[in-house]
Homo-oligomer: A and B are copies of this chain.
């Protein structure tokens, strides 16, 4: 069954109010008209329960209020938090959000990017993996955590600075020898800078360090690394920086099996700022990503880009450290 009888149109409203079509259109769009006309039109709108037809408007203006948000999924808390933050930013600007989960699948990513061409969205904010995406309309596209070149704006955390910060905090908490454990989806992505910042800080501060950095590592990819660095039941290092909170937790499980306790024997810092149940405690000491700021910045860039032909940069937003139980309490 089709939902109901046909919806009233502007024409119906014009008839009901006894004014011309154009007048109704102006009232609807908030363009000033004579007081008495406005009242008549508004009354008619209410009486008929008129709503503007978004398709017709879109056809005329080539603009709908829809922004496509492209994420690998909504299940991982960081992506969920990002989606949540983007939704807030967008709805504050009166924009609607369409979500496309790509699972990192290049076809799905390309499909979602084409949404603008299909007139299904005005713009796209995307966290993608495929480096070979074709972007037809750069002025309607914002990347998150990935530098795509082609003059496409990228918003990310200050991953490099975060890596440096992790080192400073570990040392501040008493560590004297460090390790980095990380698995990244691509060395070309922004998060790979976490290691670079780590290494830079260690060298600058003259701290001995070791590391394992792999691409798309399987569960437990770091196990051998840890084993090689155990002597007499003790680790060679007393501080570990992991590229994500998730890896901190996985490493902790492994360390537990090795009878090494956190934070007594070794202190750990992760990256993301993931919270239990999305709202509770931190899962570990961590470098917190400014999720809402990332979202706000992406939306601001996009909405500016709608109007002006700016050539935007890479924007790295400040991160901060927070205690979460895997570092020792400071006095």
Contacts and interface: CB of A to CB of B under 8 A. Distances in A.
Nearest to A52: B118
A81 to B, nearest CB: 6
B118 A101 contact: no
Given A59-B59, A96-B120, A139-B3, A75 B66 contact: no
A74 interface: yes
Contacts of A64: 55, 120
A99 B99 contact: yes
Contacts of A318: none
20 contacts: A4-B136, A7-B117, A51-B114, A53-B59, A53-B119, A55-B55, A55-B58, A55-B62, A58-B58, A74-B74, A75-B80, A76-B277, A83-B83, A87-B99, A87-B100, A88-B101, A91-B101, A96-B115, A97-B98, A246-B280
Interface of A: 1, 3-4, 7, 51-56, 58-59, 62, 64, 66, 73-77, 80-81, 83-84, 87-88, 91, 96-101, 114-120, 136-137, 139-140, 245-246, 249, 274, 276-280, 283, 308-309
